[in-house]
Amino acid sequence: MPTPTATVTHTAALARLGHALSDPTRVGILLALRDAPAYPSDLADALGVSRQVMSNQLACLRGCGLVEASPDGRRSEYRLTDPHLAPALNELLQVVLVIEPACCGGDGCTCA
């Protein structure tokens, strides 16, 4: 199967995904939502973050187009927006990366 030609739209979409994956809390949210929808309070408890942090990270993921909220009474339940996301995340987990310790640290890449 030929590789599709990258368009500006593809580039922007992958950049949004990269932004979402650049934060450990957002990654945790995406991984948690692979199997089932969840409420923000449950996600916050599971990931060990405050409800305010969870709210901010969910807003970011909504802005990236990766999660959506469904009203459920006074609460909202979150889910991945596209059924392709869960298998894509599973595939990414299978990728093994060799990172040069002198290059990339906890504060980001220092390579020039």
User: What's the pLDDT tens digit per position in 61-98?
Assistant: 999 999 999 999 999 999 999 999 999 999 888 876 66
Buried b / exposed e over 6-21, threshold 16 CB at 10 Å, is eeeeeeeeeebbeebe
Residue predicted with more confidence, 106 or 10: 10
Alpha-helical runs (H) found in the chain? 8-21, 24-32, 40-47, 51-63, 85-94
Q: What is the CATH number of the domain that holds 100?
A: 1.10.10.10
Residue predicted with more confidence, 40 or 111: 40
Does the reported pTM lie above 0.75?
yes
Name the band, by pLDDT with cuts 50, 70 and 90, for residue 108: low
Do residues 51 and 44 make contact, with C-beta atoms less than 8 angstroms apart?
A: yes
Which residue range is the domain that position 17 belongs to? 8-109
Closest CA to 80 of 3, 20, 9: 20
Residue 6 has pLDDT above 80, yes or no: no
For residue 1, is it within any domain? no
For residue 2, is it within any domain? no
Q: How many domains does the chain have?
A: 1
For residue 34, is it within any domain? yes
Residue 21 has pLDDT above 90, yes or no: yes
For residue 3, is it within any domain? no
For residue 37, is it within any domain? yes
In this structure, the number of other CB atoms found within 10 A of the CB of residue 75 comes to: 12
pLDDT at 7: 83
Q: Which amino acid is at 55?
A: S
Compute the mean pLDDT over every residue in the chain, rounded to the nearest whole number.
Answer: 88
**From CA 81, how far away is CA 17, in angstroms rounded?**
13
Helix (H, G, I), strand (E, B) or coil at 39: coil
62: left (phi over 0), alpha (psi -120 to 50) or beta: alpha
Residue 4 has pLDDT above 70, yes or no: no
